[in-house]
Structures are given as structure tokens and as C-alpha cells.
A and B are shown apart, each in its own frame.
Chain A
């Protein structure tokens, strides 16, 4: 039973390029969450998606960041025109349901380095 799968695990981008991070939730999970971990910080919530819907994007920066979870395929976090401050670990998590006492399960993260 595969866990939450993220790729790429490591990504290097030059300033101004685009970064695309992919996340496949655990089997049977239809709720996906993205978190960002800046150096020496705890994780911070970015966005919550279900298939074809953004449920809560209150943690997303207003510009350059977008997320989707299409009907088919993985969830994608897209960062346009990356800047040095975007360098971080981006974690995806999933759960079978939302709310209540359900634990969310994290993937191994995608480490983005902007040079």
C-alpha cells in the first residue's frame, strides 16, 4: 500500500523559471493538502483540494502560486517565476475524509532550491 507519493524529490530552478511539484495521494484518499516548510521553520498550510475543486487556499501566496487536483492524475503545485524565497520543502498530505479525528498522511516532500 503505497503512501503519498511526491515528485520530484529535489528540484533546482533558476530565478524566473517555473516549478511544478506533483503529488499522488494514498490509495482511497480524495483529499489533498499542500504544506510548505521554510528552513528552520515548522510546516505551514497552503491549500486543500479535492478532485477538481479548491476547498481552502487561505495559506497560498496571492501571486505566482497555484494548485490543482484534476479528475485524473496527480495534484500539482505550480510556482511561476520562482524567487530565492521560494526555496523550501513542499509537503503534500492526504486523507480519506476531511474533518473530525482523521489523521492526515504526509509524503516525503519535494525540496525546491532556487539559484
Chain B
């Protein structure tokens, strides 16, 4: 059974600081997704990482994927309050070209950015 572990699960940081959220997974996959969820809201797709070494950046967030290490990181640069949310990584364990729906999610990282 595929396991996806995120850490930390809770992250409280000050505005302006940098931090990294880690996502480890237990089986081979070359597709990993990062989502953001605000309280009571849906999941917003942030990044789709589709190959080893993939790096994507959007604003203050940068995500990377190392399929050999089975590790993805979500790096936050100069955090601002608006980034406060829960961040999930999700892994698609099916072979490339296969399913894109049977995602296995981590438990999420609750990020709180304090002024």
C-alpha cells in the first residue's frame, strides 16, 4: 500500500521567513501534486510535477520532485499571511499514462504565518 508522509504536520512561521515542507512516498511514482486548502474550502491545485528533477515556481512557492529519493519539497520564500492554509501533497502511483485520479494524499501541513 502506498504511503505518503508529510512533515511537518504543523508549521507556524513568521512573515518574511523561509521554510520547506517535505513529502515522502513509499512506492515508485513520477507524478506528484501539491494542493492548497483553505478552511471549509476545496483543494486548489498548486503544482503538478511530472518527472524526476521537475521544479516549478509560482510566486513565493517552489516545488521540486526527486523520484529516486521519492521526495518532493514545497519551499516557501519570505512567507506572508495570505499563505496560511493547509498544504497537501498527493501521489499518483499508476504507470505514466495511466490513471490520474487514484491519488494518495498526505495528511497535510497546516501552515500559519504570523505577522
Contacts and interface: CB of A to CB of B under 8 A. Distances in A.
Interface string A75-115: 00000000000000001010100111111111111010000
Chain A interface, DSSP helix/strand/loop, else mixed: loop
Main secondary structure of the interface of B (DSSP, over half): loop
A92 to B, nearest CB: 9
Contact of B90 (A31, A42, A101): A42
Interface in B59-115: 88, 90, 97-108
Given A33-B101, A95-B100, A98-B99, A41 B107 contact: yes
A65 interface: no
A44 interface: yes
Contact of B43 (A40, A43, A102): A43
B54 to A, nearest CB: 12
B88 A103 contact: no
